[in-house]
Structure 1
Amino acid sequence: MFLGGYMVAAYAAIYLIWGSTYLAIRLAVDSIPPLFMMGVRCAAAGALMLVWAAVRGERATLRHWGHAAFAGALMFAGSYGALAWAEQRVASGIAALLSATTPFWLTAFEWSGGSRPSRRSIAGLIVGLAGVAVLVGGRSTYQLRPAAPGDSLAAFEASSPAAAPGTPLDRRSIPAPLHGAGKVAAGTMAGRPPSFAGHSRRRELRRDLAEAFAAAGRALPPGRLAGPGATPDVRHELLAPIVAILAGTLAWAAGSLYARPPRVPRSLALSAGMSLTAGGALLLAASWSAGELTGFSPREVSSTSLAALAYLVVFGSLVGFSAYSWLLRVAPPSRVATHAYVNPLVAIALGSALAGEPLTSTIVCAGLAIAAGVAFVLAGQIRSTEVTESTERTV
C-alpha cells in the first residue's frame, strides 16, 4: 500500500515537475540573465547532489572528474545554456516539444556508429522529425513568446497603417516614450543580447508600448511577438532560438552517450552531481565572458524569477531526480521512460493555462507527432530491463 502511494507520487514528480520546468525557466529568465540563471541552477543542484553522494560514502577519481566535466560541458553548459537563452524568445511549450527530440538524435548517433536501430525506432524517427518540421514551419510557432520590448516595437512597426509591412516607421510617428525602446529593439533584432542593466525598465517599456498602441487605435496584442504580417526579418530572428534548442538536444545526446560507466561513476547521484557542477561553472564563466552581468543588479530580480529559480533547483533537480532514480530501481524501465513524451504535453498545457501561450492546431498536431515518435523510439530502444538516465533528457 505504501509502495503504491510512493509510486504515484514519484510518477507525478517526473511527469508534472519535469514538465513544469520549461515554464519555470521562462519565468526565471524574465529578470535574470539566462546563462547566469542556468549556471546558478546547475551549480547549486550539483553541489547538493555531491553532498548527498558524500554522505552515502560515494567517491570519484580525478579521471572520473575529467570525463564528467566534458559531459557537463555538452549536456549542461551547451544544452541547458541554449535552452535558457532561447526561452527569452520562444514559448515554453515549443521549447519542451523541441527538447523532446533528444531520443531521435541518440538513435541517429547509434545508427552512425554501426548499431542498427529497430524498425520501430526508425518509424519513430521519421514520425517525430515530421512533427518537428511541422512545428518549425508553422506560422504560429513564431507568435508565442510574450513580447520583449524590442520585439513589440517590431510588431508595432510591421502592423502599423502608417507604413507598409517591413517598412520602418518614421521616428516622428513614434510617441516619445518609444524612442528608448527603439534602441532596445535595434540591439535585440541585430542579434545582440538585450542588456540586463535595468530589468525594471521592461515593465515601463511594456506600458509605454501599450500606450502607443492605444494612441494608434489598436490594443497591444498580449503574448505575441508579431502578428500575421510579421516581416521575414522577425521570423529569421525567432528561428535562431529554435535552432539553438535543437543544437542543444544534439549536445545532450552526444554528452549522454559519452557519460557512461566506466568513464563516470555508476552512482546516478554522484555522476549527475559532478556533471552539473562542472556545467554550472562553465555557464557562470560564459555569463561573465558574455557581459551578462554588466549593470545587472540582484535588486532588479523579480520575486517570480527568484521563486522560479528556487523551484528549478529544489524540485526540478533534487526532487525530480530522486523520484526518477528511485523509480528505476522499483519499476519497469519502459514505464519510467514514458516521462519523455508526457513532459512536453504537460509543458504545453501549463504554458497555455498559466502563461497565456496560444494552443493552435499546428502545435497540437506537431506535439502529437513528436510524442508518438518518442514513444516508438523508446519502445525500440528498450531491451528487457536496461535503460539508464543517459538515454533521456531532463530539465
Structure 2
Amino acid sequence: MNLLEKRTGTISSKTILCLLAVYIIWGSTYLGMKIATKTVPPFLLSGLRFLLAGSLLLGVGLWREKIWPTRRQFLSACLVGVLLIGVGNTCVAVAVHYMPSGLVALLIAAMPAWFMGLDWAFFSRKRPSALTMVGIGLGFLGLFLLFNPFGAHDVRTFPLWPVGVVLIGSISWAVGSLSVPRLQMPTQIISTAIQMLAGCVLCFLISTVLEPGAWQTLPAMNLEGWTAYLYLVLFGSLVGYTSYSWLARNAPPRLTATYAYINPIVALVLGWAIGNESITPMLGVAAAIVIAGVVLMTMGKK
C-alpha cells in the first residue's frame, strides 16, 4: 500500500484485483486438492504442484526482473516458503484428504484470529480491540459447535485429528505472512518462485518419510485428477499465491486476512455442488457464526 493510499484510506485497483483472486480462486482450491488427493498422497501432490508452479514463475521472474537476490534475501524467501507452502498449504492438503473440503475451509476461516493474536504477541504488540476479541470468541464458538468432540459421533464420517493439522498449518501461515514485511525479501516474482520451490523441497522430504510408494500412484491419476492438478498449479499457485504474496508485502495484515470469510463460502458451495458434500442445518448455523465472528474481527480495526 503506497503513501497516498495510507493518507487517503483508499484501496488501489491492484489491491482489489489481488483480493478478488485470493477470495475466489483460493476458495475453489479446497475442492481441487480434494479431487487431486484421491489418487496422489497430499505431500507428494503439494511438492509436484509447487515444483512446476515455482519453476515457471522463476523463469518469468528472471526474464522480467533480472535481479538475482542476495544471500540474505534468498534465505528469507526460503524461510517464508517453508512456513507458507511447506507447512501451511500442505497441512490443508492433508486435511482435505480426510475431511470435507468445506469444513476445512471453515477451519481456515479462523485465520484472522491467528494473525491478530500473533501480531499482538510477537510483532506489532498492538492489542486487538474489544470488537475484535468478541469476533475471535464468536468464531471459535462456531468451530466448537461444528467439531464438538463431545457430540454425537455416529453421524460423523471423518476423523478429528486433521483439525490439529489445520491448526499447525494456520499458525505457520500466519507467522510466515507476518514475517514478510520484516524480512529482506527478493523482488516480487522471484521471491514468490523461491518460496514455492523451498516449500516443495520440504514436501518431497516429508513425502519420502511418510508416504512410501507415493510415486507409484501417479500412473493411476485419471483425467479428473490431472485437471485438478493443473488448475491448482495455474490458478491456485501462479495466480492465487502470487496475488497473496503481493498483498502480504503491500497491504495491511488485517486487510489481507479478510479472504478468510469469503473462501469458506466459495468452498462450501463448490463442495456441495460438485463434490457431493452435504450442508446440514448445524453446518449452516456454525458456518454463519464463524463467518460473523471473522467479520467482527476485521471490523475491529480499520
TM range (shorter): 0.7 to 0.9
C-alpha deviation, 1:349, in angstroms: 0.6
The one-letter amino acid paired with 1:299 is P
Match of 1:55 in 2: 63
Which one has the bigger helix percentage? 2
Of 272, 283, 301, which residue of structure 2 is paired with 1:352? 272
Runs of 5+ unmatched residues, structure 1: 143-226, 383-395
Distance in structure 2 (CA, Å) of the matches to 1:141 and 1:356: 22
The one-letter amino acid paired with 2:146 is L
Match of 2:174 in 1: 253
Of 12, 23, 27, which residue of structure 1 is paired with 2:31? 23
1:262-273 mapped onto 2 (5 Å cutoff): 262-265=183-186, 267-273=187-193
> CA 1:322 to 1:62, structure 2 compared with 1: closer, same or farther past 3 Å?
closer
- Pairing 1:122–2:133 present: yes
- Pairing 1:39–2:54 present: no
> CA 1:379 to 1:344, structure 2 compared with 1: closer, same or farther past 3 Å?
same
Aligned-residue CA RMSD in angstroms? 3.3
Runs of 5+ unmatched residues, structure 2: 1-12
Aligned 8 A contact 1:141 1:363 in 2: no
Among all aligned residue pairs of Structure 1 and Structure 2, give the percentage whose two residues are the same amino acid.
Answer: 32
> CA 1:127 to 1:62, structure 2 compared with 1: closer, same or farther past 3 Å?
same
Match of 1:93 in 2: 102
- Pairing 1:277–2:191 present: no
C-alpha deviation, 1:270, in angstroms: 2.9
Match of 1:364 in 2: 284
The one-letter amino acid paired with 1:243 is G
TM-score (norm 2): 0.83
Distance in structure 1 (CA, Å) of the matches to 2:23 and 2:45: 23
Distance in structure 1 (CA, Å) of the matches to 2:41 and 2:271: 21
TM-score (norm 1): 0.64
Aligned 8 A contact 1:94 1:141 in 2: no
Count of aligned pairs: 288
- Secondary structure at 2:97's aligned position in 1? coil
The one-letter amino acid paired with 2:177 is S
- Pairing 1:70–2:79 present: yes
Distance in structure 2 (CA, Å) of the matches to 1:352 and 1:139: 26
For each residue in 1:261-313, what CA deviation from the matched residue of structure 2 results, as whole angstroms up to 9, or x when unmatched? 43323x44333222111011110121122243357142211211111011001
- Secondary structure at 1:359's aligned position in 2? coil
> CA 1:47 to 1:141, structure 2 compared with 1: closer, same or farther past 3 Å?
farther
> CA 1:40 to 1:110, structure 2 compared with 1: closer, same or farther past 3 Å?
same
